Structure 1
Amino acid sequence: MREAVHAAGTKVMGAGDAGSRNPGIDALRGLAIVLVVFNHLGLRIPLEKTALAGVLPTWLLNRLNWNGYEAVYVFFVISGFLIAGNALRRWGSLAAIDVRAFYARRFARIVPCLLALLAVLSVLHLLGLPDYVIHRAGQSLPRALLSALGLHLNWYEARTGYLPGNWDVLWSLSIEEAFYLGFPLACLLLRRRTLLAPPLVLLALSLPWTRAALHGNEIWLEKAYLPGMAAIATGVLGALLADAWQPPRRTVMLLGWLGAVGLGAVLLDGGALWHWLRDGYMLVLTLSSLCLLLCFRWRAELGAVSPLRGLGWLRAWGRMSYEIYLTHMFVVYAVVRAYRAWGGDPAQGWLWYLPALGLCWLLGATVERWLSVPCERWLRSRLVGVAPRGRMGMQPG
């Protein structure tokens, strides 16, 4: 391992205060969570039916509304990249990973907000509030709770149908945490990178074929384990590459441009890519996201970190992406009900996006300050023996 570069990477993305975060990664994650919110708003207040259609092209408005699924896959790649990268900086190699500490850190980060969300949703269901009642045939509150805590909510929805929106967002968490249950064990079993990398490569490249095999079940096509895990594996491979190699500056910049063009092509004209590549367009998405992550990481190691002005709000969204992701549907439902109570004029629908975004950020910040960070700090101090400094000891996955 490259000791000098390793130390530089730790300073930029490792243990330290909030200033140690990588601004590029935060901005990419912020873009992803904004697209998720736009998607869930667009299902109820489509931008193409608002007055903006007279100012902006319809294809652009549609892309703003219908990239939520692709945004989750960007999250998957970022997650694998950050969690594997943090493990490499923390323990030196994946073969030396401390399984107990790894699980304890994941528990401290994920479980407090998840339990709070499930408790609130259970109360709202029992109170019979519209938008929160589980009502489909074959579904029940106990079974929904079991599926969320047992990391198979995606499978449960594939069998019984969509759950209410606040429950539905947990499908991605089922995939992520199922992957991380096995990840440290695979690292200890295979130990060498030469043994760990080939199965990760096969999993990462399997994405188009695992998706293609699922056509016929709309929900399972979107939420099956293997396609999501393929995206996470892509991020893990990127972390291994970033730890083992420091390319020249020109290569870093080329990767950045390739990533930006590829991601832009998927987000702005995914239909054309689908026409030519079918399910392969998702591989373009994951590999482009990885190129950007490698560029951000290596630029930081080269000392070329320069956050773009005007994007501070987007980086803030990225820092709170987990909290916003879990809670944004409360805001979406409230805003949509207010919009309809106000008359539901489609032409004015775009005006409701601005307060929705502000409320999503405010709710996420509240959860972060009063629940997520205090609980994580308390749990880490008891389960791991150290409490993170600042927002997080390392940039969180």
Structure 2
Amino acid sequence: MPSADHDLGPQDLGRPATTVHREPLDRSPEHAEPSRFLPHVQGLRAIAVLFVVLYHFWPARLPGGYVGVDIFFVISGFLITAHLMREIAATGTVRLGQFWARRARRLLPASLLVLLFCALAVMSPYLMPTSALPNEVREIIASTFYVENWSLALSSADYLNHSGDPTTVQHYWSLSLEEQFYVMWPLIMLLAAWVGVKSFRASRRRAVLVAIGVVTAASFVFCVAFTLTNPAPAYFVTFGRMWEFGLGALVALVPRLRVRHAVGSFVLGWAGVLALLYTAFRFDGQTPFPGYAAALPALGAAAIIAASNTSGWWQPTRILAIRPAQFTGDISYSLYLWHWPLIIIAPSVPFWGLTIYHRVALLAICFVLAWLTKRFVEDPARHWKVLVTRRAAVTLWASLAAMVLVAGTAGAAWAVNAPAYRDGVQSLAQLREDPPGCFGAASVLEAGCAGTDFGGTILPAPGFAGVDRPADERCFVQLNDSRPVSCDFGSDDPDAPRIALIGDSHAFQLLSTFERMAEENGWHLVTFFKGACAWSTTPLSTPGAFGDACTTWRNGVTAALRDADIDAVFTAAIASTPYSSAGFDSSHDAAVAGYRGAWSEVLDRGIPVITVVDNPVWETDPNKCLRTRAEASCVGARSEMLVEDDPLRDAAAGIPGVTLLDFTDVFCDDSACFPVVGGANLYRDQDHLTVTFADTLAPQYTAAITAALAAGVP
């Protein structure tokens, strides 16, 4: 079992008992017991944090690395429950003040240090875009008081397929959930022990076991159901994750689950390792998660913990106990804290690139910062005499004061930058109402605009492009949501031409532009949008609930179109949508056939279709480069950013009634693609256009739709 003083939190899997500082006012009976430190659990922590960090550095290489947080939850459930059960068994209660004070001394110093760093970074327009200010301040404050998971849940943030710029503290959602667990879990265990003894004359351990079993089962059912119905908030809500803590708790409470037999431990441990590796490499952002899919990494982590035999070097318990794993596990809390804000900020640092060498160097910096924080912040804070020699209330009040200080710094960041933010909002509104002549796409497409010099002006400014997006996100459904949500805009005249705008986020990016077009031309606009789900009849290659939800959404859209009086359909999709190639020579052929199949549903009714070749996709948001470097140094190679064989282009070729728009020559020349064209900032993130730039293409969109309405389908 882990050492009592080091079995308390995602970062506290411990050191040998010889390093334990004895707190004068904390004389819980477990302090007199031998070390319960489990090296292989420390190694499991190393796996967990490396999964998360490598996933954030190289998401395409380790697409399921986000399961590392699920491993942490299982570990915390195991360690915290073991600690609390020992105290309940020995004394009949838990000294809650001391328990929470120890958690505060272990968790808050490093956590608040990183939050303070982020709050100071927000003050600098060179490190953070002004457009990110409201979200950054709000989430720093939410993270400071450990409610970040609820902040993200209530705003329906999509952690795995985030459509906007993530904040520097978004990763604090898991720490917030852990802190809520530390508050609730001892209360649940104490209540269960009291009820069991008083009402059923059961032993405290049995009563606690039954209660945790019920909570775990109920939480898992809730998690699966909520993931199917509300996938974005389901990722963050507390009760939807409690079953993972409960799974670790059951391993702690049922000794028979811990396998000490050599063969059994070998099989169980390595099966757990294989389960974790499978999820890390095979899961991705489109896997319905957490839901039932989270059971695999959670059970894998529980299996590794339960494998207790250390007799041979081939045992996973021995492999996970090697020194590098122990070191990484030891610094994992600080490593988790530091890596994400550095990833977010680094691309904005002058002269810092995005090559493999820069990423490896940044990863090394994360390890160094983590070690320094562990050595000079985490460890000393546990032994501050001013706190450990006084009542628990002193620690708790000191913690609250420190949290208020950090929140106040975030508030100061808002006060300093709020005028610039308000000016940016006003300038953006003015730009949309009165754009310069020959601006944006017009500089390429309109006669007489060639060679127009904008003098280095970039509109919207690189620090403010992130907010230049459609406002009606209620019209956009994500992940496993299969509802064919529709929105209506424009004219209510029953004789108005009815235009449908359908597709994924690359269709949604045109919404504001099409709203304005509908108002100006007297059209009625109907929209259907779903993230990563283009309007097609070919299934996605992504298995499981996400692919099923996409198919259901498409069928719902097709049914809605049959019942609607539509005069023309405009559709767009990201060129790299992954389609199943079953029955086709390639996924490209499958995509072409799928688009034609969907379009035929309306073409056969005489309804024309207009589509557009996809825009280039950047590796990272080009605004991070534009904020600190010259525009000419922020171009990208055409061969790396543009899908030359866009299936939409091939699907439209030779099909009567289908109009294809291709603006590739606006975005790129023969060798490079640009982040700025005609003074207009093209991108609000790495692949979505700003509304400002989309508006400059409105004449071409309008002309194509008008011509299609007039020509119909031959």
Query: Is 1:324 aligned to residue 335 of structure 2?
Result: yes
1:267 to partner: Cα distance: 2.4
Which digits, 9 at most, give the CA deviation of each residue in 1:257-289, with x for residues without a partner? 332232233223337x969x9932211221111
**TM-score, reference length from structure 1:** 0.74
What SS class does the counterpart of residue 368 from structure 2 fall into? helix
Query: Is 1:256 aligned to residue 266 of structure 2?
Result: no
Instruction: Give 1:182's match in structure 2, choosing from 175, 181, 184.
Output: 184
| Residue identity matched to 2:302 | L
| Residue identity matched to 1:224 | V
Matches within 5 A, 1:10-89: 15-17=17-19, 21-42=37-58, 46=60, 61=61, 64=62, 66-89=63-86
* Deviates most, 151-160 or 33-42: 151-160
Contact 1:200 1:237 in 2 (8 A): yes
Q: Which residue does the alignment assign to 1:266?
A: 279
What SS class does the counterpart of residue 299 from structure 1 fall into? coil
Contact 2:227 2:291 in 1 (8 A): no
1:29 to partner: Cα distance: 0.9
**Richer in strand (by share):** 2
Contact 2:335 2:366 in 1 (8 A): yes
Q: Which residue does the alignment assign to 2:615?
A: none
1:213 to partner: Cα distance: 1.5
Q: How many angstroms apart in 2 are the aligned matches of 1:207 and 1:24?
A: 27
Q: How many angstroms apart in 1 are the aligned matches of 2:342 and 2:117?
A: 14
**TM-score, reference length from structure 2:** 0.43
Contact 2:128 2:345 in 1 (8 A): no
Instruction: Give 2:309's match in structure 1, choosing from 299, 305, 323.
Output: 299
Alignment CA distance shift 1:301-1:185 (3 Å):
farther
* Deviates most, 128-137 or 114-123: 128-137
| Higher RCO, Cα 8 Å, sep 6+ | 1
Which digits, 9 at most, give the CA deviation of each residue in 1:180-209, with x for residues without a partner? 101111222111232222342243344364
Q: Which residue does the alignment assign to 2:174?
A: 172
Q: Which residue does the alignment assign to 2:302?
A: 290
What SS class does the counterpart of residue 125 from structure 2 fall into? coil
Instruction: Give 1:358's match in structure 2, choosing from 344, 359, 364.
Output: 364
**Richer in helix (by share):** 1
Q: How many angstroms apart in 2 are the aligned matches of 1:269 and 1:196?
A: 36
Contact 1:14 1:89 in 2 (8 A): no
| Residue identity matched to 1:314 | A
What SS class does the counterpart of residue 241 from structure 2 fall into? helix
Contact 1:125 1:134 in 2 (8 A): no
| Residue identity matched to 2:268 | L
Contact 2:46 2:325 in 1 (8 A): yes
Q: Which residue does the alignment assign to 1:107?
A: 104
Structure 2: any 5+ residue segments left out of the alignment? Answer: 8-13, 21-34, 158-163, 194-203, 394-714
Contact 2:266 2:316 in 1 (8 A): no
Alignment CA distance shift 1:173-1:155 (3 Å):
same
- Give the number of equivalent residue pairs: 350
Q: How many angstroms apart in 2 are the aligned matches of 1:278 and 1:117?
A: 27
Q: Which residue does the alignment assign to 1:55?
A: none
Query: Is 1:221 aligned to residue 223 of structure 2?
Result: no
| Residue identity matched to 2:147 | H
1:354 to partner: Cα distance: 2.7
Q: Which residue does the alignment assign to 1:49?
A: none
Matches within 5 A, 1:188-203: 188-191=190-193, 192-203=204-215
What SS class does the counterpart of residue 167 from structure 1 fall into? coil
Alignment CA distance shift 1:85-1:300 (3 Å):
farther
Q: Which residue does the alignment assign to 1:367?
A: 373
Instruction: Give 2:147's match in structure 1, choosing from 152, 176, 186.
Output: 152
1:105 to partner: Cα distance: 1.1
Q: How many angstroms apart in 1 are the aligned matches of 2:136 and 2:290?
A: 36
Q: How many angstroms apart in 2 are the aligned matches of 1:269 and 1:287?
A: 16
| Residue identity matched to 1:37 | V
Q: How many angstroms apart in 2 are the aligned matches of 1:140 and 1:246?
A: 46
Alignment CA distance shift 1:211-1:380 (3 Å):
farther
1:382 to partner: Cα distance: 3.8
Q: How many angstroms apart in 2 are the aligned matches of 1:366 and 1:13?
A: 17
* Deviates most, 183-192 or 114-123: 114-123
Contact 1:131 1:164 in 2 (8 A): no
Q: How many angstroms apart in 2 are the aligned matches of 1:158 and 1:165?
A: 15
Contact 2:71 2:297 in 1 (8 A): yes
Alignment CA distance shift 1:258-1:168 (3 Å):
same
Quick check: which has more Rg, 1 or 2?
Answer: 2
